[in-house]
A and B are shown apart, each in its own frame.
Chain A
Amino acid sequence: MSRTSNTKPPRLASWLLDLFTPPSESESIPGDLIEEFPTAVSTLGRGAARRWYWRQAVKTIAHLISRELHTAPWTIAATAVGGYLLLMGAVRSVDMATGAFLGNFQVYYYVRPRFVWWIYAVGVDRVICPMLIGWMAASISRRTEMATAATLSSMAAVIGFPLQLEGGLLWLVYSTVFLDKAWPDHPTVSSYILAFYAMLGLLPPIALFVGAVIRRKSLSTGRPPIAA
């Protein structure tokens, strides 16, 4: 391995650190860690130095989020709660509009129901709507956009994930208790359905965060690249 690649810090950790560092400190904080990394490699070895860098990046991100939360707690809380309510409203509206559309035009006659479900229930409800709302929340809360994004995503995960998992559990109970008796030859509904529902529950928080990240990246311009 070349000397240059040995002294390059982990890219993902650097990217995350860059993402959470406010523009006023985008020179000093990541620069300090980049400067220290070669020394850490020579004293600790490459593997331990990478772990050290990750630890430093994670702790620093936690400090930066905590500082933003202390700076504007009410703005962040209001934006996160408003964003979550907007998401609920948007999902419900999309569901109603899709239901009306499918009912009026008898789309199921032409297109497979599963295909339609993937488009609106996964694509629109769980990816596009949350991404747009994440983008909007980051736009509203300028300078504290990453703390807002973290709060909003955490809210969506804490509230939405158990609800989604509950849906999966109900499916599992329904299939094992009732479906087995009523329809012995039904296709197997295994515990994999729980994993699938868990994945569905994780999509909105991830999409919210990605939307905010896209907005954050569009706001930060003219920074030097992270690698030396």
Chain B
Amino acid sequence: MSNRDFLGEFELVVLLALLRLSDQAYGVTVRREIEKRTGRDVSIGAVYATLDRLQSKGYVRSRLADPTPERGGRSKRFFRVTAAGIAAVNRTHTAVQKLIEGLDLSGSLA
């Protein structure tokens, strides 16, 4: 992946949620973390679509755990951010910071 590749807004949100959750990151916890921190009601489908995209870019990797009865005998898929993913977060964050630097965001347009 090119080192000029920047993350989309929701991709950044999902990667930051994964980093916060560390080794407890799977669909349910990621969705709840985003909801708790941003107040956004996101669907599990949106989370997985983004995770799938991030995985194909090499920014996250996943593993399937054992099935559990409270999930109807289905397994959890745990996600982890890769080194390339952390680099992408840093790159995007730095770019946004540089764009914000010196701006007056107090609310007036003039």
By a beta-carbon cutoff of 8 Å, the part of chain A in contact with chain B is 25-36, 38, 55-56, 59-64, 66-67, 224-228
Chain B: interface size category: 20 to 34
Contact A34 B74 (CB under 8 A): yes
Known: A63-B48, A67-B52. A31 touches B74 (CB 8 A): yes
The answer to whether A60 touches B44 (Cβ under 8 A) is yes
Tell whether B77 is near chain A: CB-to-CB under 8 Å: yes
Known: A27-B67, A28-B26, A36-B28. A63 touches B45 (CB 8 A): yes
Cβ-neighbour of A225 out of B45, B72, B75 (below 8 A): B72
Contact A27 B45 (CB under 8 A): no
- Complex Cα spacing A59 to B27, Å: 15
For residue B57, give the distance in angstroms from its CB to the closest CB of chain A: 14
Expressed in whole angstroms, the Cα–Cα distance for A103 and B26 within the complex equals 66
Chain B residue numbers with a CB within 8 Å of A36 are 28, 31, 44
A27-B64 in contact (CB<8A): yes
CB distance from A144 to the nearest CB of B (A): 14
What CA separation (Å) do A122 and B69 show in the bound complex?
Answer: 46
Find the B residue at minimum CB distance from A36: B28
Among B64, B67, B72, B76, residue most surrounded by chain A Cβ atoms (within 10 Å): B72
Give Cα distance in the complex from A67 to B48, angstroms. 10
Q: Are B77 and A28 in contact (CB under 8 A)?
A: yes
Judged by DSSP, the binding face of A is helix
Not counting A28-B26, A35-B28, A67-B49, a sample of 8 additional A-B residue pairs whose C-beta atoms are within 8 angstroms of each other reads A25-B48, A28-B75, A31-B67, A32-B27, A34-B72, A36-B44, A60-B44, A63-B48
Separation in Å of the B51 CB from the closest CB of chain A? Answer: 9
Contact across chains for A28 and B27 when beta carbons are under 8 A apart:
yes
- Kindly list chain B residues whose C-beta atoms are within 8 Å of the C-beta of A34: 70-72, 74
Residues of B within 8 A of A35 (CB): 28, 68, 70-71
Which residue of A30, A35, A62, A227 has the most chain B CB atoms within 10 A of its CB atom?
A35
> Min CB distance, B4 to chain A, in Å?
22
Q: Which residue of B lies closest to A55 (CB)?
A: B43
Q: How far is the CA of A62 from the CA of B67 in the complex (A)?
A: 26
- Residues 13-52 (chain B) with a chain A CB within 8 angstroms: 26-28, 31, 43-46, 48-49, 52
Q: Which residues of chain A come closer than 8 Å to B72, judged between CB atoms? A: 30-31, 34, 224-228
Is there an interface contact between B74 and A224, defined as CB atoms closer than 8 Å?
yes
Closest residue of chain A to B79 (Cβ to Cβ) is A28
Q: Which residues of chain A have C-beta atoms less than 8 A from B52's C-beta?
A: 67
For the complex, give the distance between the alpha carbons of A24 and B70 in Å. 20
17 A-B pairs within 8 Å (CB atoms) are namely: A25-B48, A26-B74, A27-B64, A27-B67, A28-B27, A31-B75, A32-B44, A33-B44, A35-B68, A36-B28, A56-B44, A59-B46, A60-B43, A63-B46, A224-B72, A226-B72, A228-B70
